[in-house]
Amino acid sequence: MPTIPQLPDASSVDFTDGATLILNNTDNEAKEATLLQLKENYLCNVHCASLFIQTADVLQLNSTPLEIVAAPGAGYAIEVISASVNIDFNSAAYATNTYIMAITSGATDEQYGAGILNATVSTIKKLQEVTTTTATDTQLLDNAALNISVKTGDPVTGDSDITVYVYYRIVEL
């Protein structure tokens, strides 16, 4: 097996899609690959994202959804694998419209959601996968962003910042 001279450790800023990797194939030949090729061919193009949302924005999350993942381009869709919310409780729980969701822009149904914004303590909760849809409902759409929203109206009276985390993959349609 070929050896590589001593190299410094990579840091998080080095891990871009164009970063070059060296691997040995089954014939013990050294080959060059990019991180993007590794993600697409072996890791199912899996990514993660987070979105910090201040209280003022939580209070208008139904009327003004926030984008957590940009549209992936024509021929691709965003499929959420898991989602969670960290609520940094301040002093007042959100009183109404507390169902937060990860929804594809333009879809009829969310991919993940839960009625958790009414928490009265700081907490981290997982959102639940939504699997009950009808024949005419949509969840994943071609070239559409993934948004964080509240289902039926803007929350009221709450004053806690939240952070939403999603683990997702880009699916080729």
Name the residue ranges covered by the structural domains of the chain: 1-43, 44-172
R_g of the chain computed on alpha carbons: 20
> Under the phi-then-psi rule, with left for phi > 0, alpha for psi from -120 to 50, and beta for the rest, what region is 75?
left
For domain 44-172, which architecture applies?
Sandwich (2.60)
pLDDT of residue 2: 55
Sheet strand arrangement including 46-53: 46-53, 161-172, 76-88, 123-126
Q: 169 forms bridges with which residues in the sheet?
A: 46, 79
Question: φ and ψ at 57, to 5 degrees?
Answer: -80, -35
Structure confidence by residue, pLDDT tens digits, 76-88: 999 999 999 999 9
Q: pTM for the whole thing? A: 0.85
Amino acid at 132: T
Question: φ and ψ at 116, to 5 degrees?
Answer: -125, -5
Distance CA 133, CA 17 (A): 35
Distance CA 118, CA 39 (A): 37
Mean pLDDT of the chain: 92
Distance CA 46, CA 38 (A): 10
Q: Where is average pLDDT lowest: 2-6, 59-63, 85-89, 91-95?
A: 2-6
Q: Where is average pLDDT lowest: 27-31, 83-87, 114-118, 134-138?
A: 27-31
Q: How confident is the model at residue 148 (pLDDT cuts 50, 70, 90)?
A: very high
Place of tokens 């003004």: 64
Distance CA 33, CA 3 (A): 17
Distance CA 148, CA 68 (A): 7
